[in-house]
Chain A
Amino acid sequence: MNDQPGRAQKQSGLISMSPVKVFGSAPFTNVARVLLCLEEVGAEYEIVDVDFHAREHKSPDHLARNPFGQVPAFQDGDLMLFESRAICRYILRKHRSTDGANLLREGNLAESAVVDAWLDVEALQYDPAMHAVFVQHRVVTALGGEPDERVIAESVARLRETLDVYEARLTTRGYLAGDEVSLADLSHVPYTRYLLEMPYGPPVFGEFPRVTAWWERLLARPAVRKVVSMMGGGSG
């Protein structure tokens, strides 16, 4: 069960094929990112909720899984991982045979590097701008405060600058890292889903037709549709 013909990877220790566990629920963008990869490769998994209201994320049990007290954490047999993009890479490598899209482009030096670059752009440029808007619009208001419109305006401006580059990129190829979808594209899904639900999102995206078309191509993927639904509390 661990020996997949043609797989070049050696595995230290027994890799379990029983369902993996994802700690944290789908509405969390970093959890949703991991669920996208699991759905794309058709892996069996179970979601174990972490009760933030009860401060379960700071409990000794959860800190043993994720020492930063965050979600997601991920368990595969006796391997415990955290940091969503690291978990994603693990899932895609483990299930290389059912990852039809080769979402990491491993095995190709140049292409895998370009996937890495766009994944870092998502993490370090796209996400922070989205996160700032999300915090003001959803979290601050949920806690009874007023959104800081100046922060929102600055973040939207940063997002526009970033999307300018995306629009140019998507003029010459269908996806960020090339003509086929990769983890870099999928990683954008969770925050984009929330952005487009906020009043700021659609007008900004409306200025970028190729970015909009790219988003619609991603939404056409069954795995993406399922996770987007799960993020809203649906079962997919």
Chain B
Amino acid sequence: MAPMKLYGATLSWNVTRCVAVLEEAGAEYEIVPLDFSTGEHKSPEHLARNPFGQVPALQDGDLYLWESRAICKYVCRKNKPELLKEGDLKESALVDVWLEVEANQYTSALTPILFQCLIRPMLGGATDQKVVEENLEKLKKVLEVYEARLTKSKYLAGDYISVADLSHVSVTLCLAATPYASVFDAYPHVKAWWTDLMARPSAQKVAALMKPPS
């Protein structure tokens, strides 16, 4: 069976979201880098994989998939279904809830901060501090909810690690590259959850991939 192919640049936290899950699920895969500077993501070849011209895209045999969390779920169903708990009505619902929370509450507050602090400077622009401050406040409110949750269970969906936890790895690693990593310090259970996640080989692999070339 040919390895799955994950298309996209490892600088993209949506691409490395999938790497965390591919690694954790023990899937055979290879990363195929795409060159945004040459518009490769808008080439006919790539549009055939992802009609929105975005990354990541996944190829598995003759199946093409896109949207990082859809890719993550597919990989789990195929290689490590216990990360989804789909045989159990209640547990799978809680995994779904916290994966939605990651997308709609956590990452939605974090992405503007990452864009201002990491992407804009790369594009030669200036960081809009007002946007950073506004979203830091939103992020803190989200972290308060996480702190309360993680007081009751070891991981977000329960006492079992799931795709919901893993989906946080790439974006949170990016936060660590901004001046705002210490925002976690006020939330001890969140910090402990993150430390535990970071110790996993899958997270270490993502961290290694995201290091900028020296």
- The answer to whether B149 and A112 have CB atoms under 8 Å apart is no
Partner of A86, one of B74, B87, B100: B100
Contacts of B88 in A (CB 8 A): 9-12
Smallest CB separation, A183 vs chain B (Å):
12
- The answer to whether B73 and A86 have CB atoms under 8 Å apart is no
The reply to whether the CB of A90 lies closer than 8 angstroms to some CB of chain B is yes
- The answer to whether A83 and B97 have CB atoms under 8 Å apart is yes
Chain A count of residues within 8 A CB distance of the other chain: 38
Main secondary structure of the interface of B (DSSP, over half): helix
Partner of A10, one of B87, B103, B105: B87
User: Quick one: closest A residue to B101, CB to CB?
Assistant: A83
Chain B count of residues within 8 A CB distance of the other chain: 34
Excluding A85-B96, A119-B70, 15 further A-B contacts by CB distance (< 8 Å) are: A9-B89, A11-B90, A83-B100, A83-B101, A86-B97, A86-B99, A86-B100, A90-B96, A109-B77, A112-B77, A117-B65, A121-B52, A124-B103, A165-B51, A169-B51
Smallest CB separation, A77 vs chain B (Å):
10
A110 touching B104 in the complex, CB below 8 Å, given contacts A11-B88, A93-B92: no
Taking Cβ atoms with an 8 Å cutoff, the residues of B that contact A are 51-52, 63, 65-67, 69-71, 73-74, 77-78, 86-94, 96-97, 99-101, 103-105, 142, 145, 148-149
Partner of B70, one of A68, A116, A168: A116
- The answer to whether A123 and B103 have CB atoms under 8 Å apart is yes
Main secondary structure of the interface of A (DSSP, over half): helix
The reply to whether the CB of A94 lies closer than 8 angstroms to some CB of chain B is yes
The reply to whether the CB of A67 lies closer than 8 angstroms to some CB of chain B is yes
Q: Kindly identify, within residues 17 to 55 of chain A, every residue whose CB is under 8 Å from any CB belonging to chain B.
A: none
Closest 10 CB pairs of A and B: A83-B100, A116-B70, A86-B96, A120-B67, A113-B74, A117-B70, A90-B93, A86-B97, A67-B145, A117-B67
